[in-house]
Amino acid sequence: MPTIDPTAFSAALLAWYDIHHRDLPWRISPRQRAAGARPDPYRVWLSEIMLQQTTVAAVKAYYTKFLARWPSVSDLAAAPEGAVLAEWAGLGYYARARNLHACAKAVEAEYGGRFPETAATLKALPGIGDYTSAAIATIAFDEPAAVVDGNIERVVTRLHAIETPLPRAKPLIKAEIAALTPKERPGDFAQAMMDLGATICTPTRPACAICPVRPFCTATRTAEAERYPVKAKKAAVPERRGAAFVARRPDGAVFLRKRPGTGMLGGMSEPPTTNWSARADGALGASAAPFPSDWRRVGEIEHGFTHFRLTLEVWSAAVGDELAIEGWWSKPQDIAAEALPTVMRKVLKAAEIGSSEAERPSAVPQRRGRRLHGAE
């Protein structure tokens, strides 16, 4: 593996970044940074948590909403967890939201509302791991920590044509980044590497012809950049099946309950569902309902999760006000603000319950697939 001169590499990368950096809501410009400004650690942290395994495009609207509602870490710490989960609904990986709130409370309680300034101390906080601790310390506090995310893994494996598959190659990549990260402008260096990965050194069809660090890159010489990073094969995703039960009151309210605080969709809201069986065959039927009623099957929905695909039968019933199980009634105008994950909004939609103004049903409800499934 040929050695890269860190000084020359940084100079080329940062010169490119000064011109071609992305303008993002949680950033300050290289020009402001050069003038001595530093970004608000709260904003850096908030954005980094949201960006975990999530695209910039998806994050922007959530980031703006969170910042408007909770302008500081103290504001966020004072919020009820349910409000944070409801605001997070739709962004996925809900443990992030629970840890976000726990972290805000820890920063408030242990550090008086000011984020600690080193990667090592940041990493001890909930939801902040290897990558995020290094990113915050480097971007907000100028610590030259080794920042390694998916973009940077891709860039480095191409620079050195690393054949070792991920995640085994991770220690090697981190060592190389530690060697390349400059003492001056480490925050810009990290963000420049990520911007390079996001805009030039892309997973498919990388733009090697206009890459500022092409002279340092091994993979591009053999026109094989796209082959890296080598990754271990993934197992096929299994199928699971379950049923969801949408109870409706005469005034249109829907019965919801809260899922257990940990695990899949932990702490989020849902219409009552069965457990999601590993069995993908057979129908469950109204006998699986949380309480007896005149359940009618109104359709089914499919949803892909990271490690399995789920099919949910959707059952609906018109019921009275009193149910013997724990939960609450949510009126039509309140549903949009509930902490409903996307899969559960699909369920409500299948039961012809508008989950937002945008989905307000027309006078004649559109029924998709409804005719196919009569009552039992």
Partner DNA sequence: TAGTCGTGGTA
Partner DNA sequence: TTACCAAGACT
- Known catalytic membership, residue 48: yes
Q: How far is the CB of 151 from DNA (least distance, A)?
A: 4
Q: Residues in the site for DNA, rule: CB under 7 A?
A: 22, 24, 26-27, 47-48, 51-58, 90-95, 99, 126-133, 135, 149-151, 154, 191, 194, 197-198, 202-204, 231, 234-237, 263-266, 303-307, 341-343
At a CB cut-off of 8 Å and minimum separation 6, what does 319 contact?
247, 248, 249, 255, 293
Q: Name 330's bridge partners.
A: 254
Q: Which is nearer to DNA, 129 or 292 (CB)?
A: 129
At 296, list the tokens.
Answer: 């009618």
- Is residue 106 within 8 Å of residue 289, measured between CB atoms? no
Question: Which H or E run contains 313?
Answer: strand 309-318
DSSP line for 131-189: HHHHHHHHHHH--------HHHHHHHHHHTT--SPBTTTHHHHHHHHHHH--SSSHHHH
Shorter beta-carbon distance to DNA: residue 229 or 286: 229
Q: Using the minimum distance from each CB to DNA, give the nearer residue, 298 or 343.
A: 343
Name which of 91 and 107 has its Cβ closer to DNA: 91
In the complex, the smallest distance separating the C-beta of residue 90 from DNA, rounded to whole angstroms, is 5
Are the CB atoms for 145 and 186 separated by under 8 Å?
A: yes
Q: At what angle do helices 95-111 and 81-88 cross, to 10 degrees?
A: 140
Task: Supply the minimum distance, in Å, between the C-beta of residue 181 and DNA.
Answer: 16
Give one word for 205, left, alpha or beta, with left for phi > 0 and alpha for psi -120 to 50: left
**CB-nearer residue toward DNA: 6 or 266:** 266
Structure tokens at 334: 């309140």
- Distance in angstroms (rounded) separating the CA atoms of residues 350 and 362: 15
Read off the DSSP letter of residue 273. Answer: B
Dihedral of CA atoms 121, 122, 128, 132 in degrees, nearest 10, equals: -120
Residue 9 beta carbon to DNA: minimum distance, rounded to whole angstroms: 19
Residue 370 corresponds to which tokens in the numbers above? Answer: 């409804």
Query: Which listed residue (48, 87, 270, 313) is catalytic?
Result: 48
What residue has token string 């990754």?
A: 231
| Shortest distance, position 184 Cβ to DNA, whole Å | 21
- E strands present in 35-126: none
Nearer to DNA, 144 or 341 (CB): 341
Rounded to whole angstroms, how far apart are CA atoms 187 and 315?
Answer: 52
CB of 92 to DNA, least distance (A): 3
Q: How far apart are CA 118 and CA 121, in angstroms?
A: 5
Nearest distance from residue 320's CB to DNA, in Å? 30
Which lies closer to DNA via its Cβ, residue 317 or residue 344?
344
Query: Where in the sequence numbering do the catalytic residues fall?
Result: 48
